């Protein structure tokens, strides 16, 4: 009796990479490239008769990949840029480094807390200056 390991993402309706690529309008090589960047959903490899493992894509996988391709086209970004954006969102240290760089370039405003600190310090200086004028 087969062991029940939860839902099998690559079960019924799953297709090999060649069919997935055709359905998505990209090449299999392009899908492998995106997989290397971490832009494809994690799936189980399916063993074949020769002991090799071949990835199969469920309808949900295809919808997820299609959403990623749509982001690339809508925002005119390369797959590597989308992969880096996901990394920035997932890693606080990377986010902080990119934010700091954006601030130094003048493309990002300081976070609200820092802006509030600046305004608070400015108000305190004004109060001190007025206190000395009495």
Q: Alpha-carbon distance 122 to 128, whole Å?
A: 10
Name the nearest CA neighbour of 57 among 72, 41, 33, 75: 41
pLDDT in tens, the chain (134 residues): 334 333 445 567 899 999 999 999 999 999 999 999 999 998 765 555 565 568 899 999 999 999 999 999 999 999 999 999 999 999 999 999 999 999 999 999 887 766 667 778 888 888 888 876 55
For the beta carbon of residue 56, count every other beta carbon within 10 angstroms.
Answer: 21
For the full predicted model, state whether its pTM sits above 0.85.
Answer: no
Rounded Cα distance, 58 and 8, in Å: 9
What the chain holds in terms of domains, given with CATH numbers, is 10-77 (1.10.1660.10), 91-134 (no CATH)
Q: How far is CA 8 from each of CA 13, 34, 67, rounded to the nearest angstrom?
A: 11, 22, 21
């Amino acid at each position: 009796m087969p062991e029940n390991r939860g839902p099998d993402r690559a079960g019924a309706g799953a297709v090999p990479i060649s069919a997935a690529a055709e359905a998505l309008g990209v090449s299999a090589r392009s899908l492998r490239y995106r997989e290397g960047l971490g832009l494809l959903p994690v799936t189980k490899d399916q063993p074949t008769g020769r002991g090799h493992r071949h990835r199969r894509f469920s309808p949900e996988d295809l919808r997820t990949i299609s959403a990623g391709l749509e982001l690339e086209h809508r925002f005119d970004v390369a797959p590597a840029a989308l992969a880096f954006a996901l990394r920035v969102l997932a890693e606080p240290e990377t986010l902080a480094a990119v934010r700091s760089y954006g601030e130094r370039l003048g493309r990002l405003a300081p976070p609200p807390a820092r802006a509030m600190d600046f305004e608070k310090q400015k108000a305190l200086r004004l109060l001190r200056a007025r206190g000395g004028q009495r």
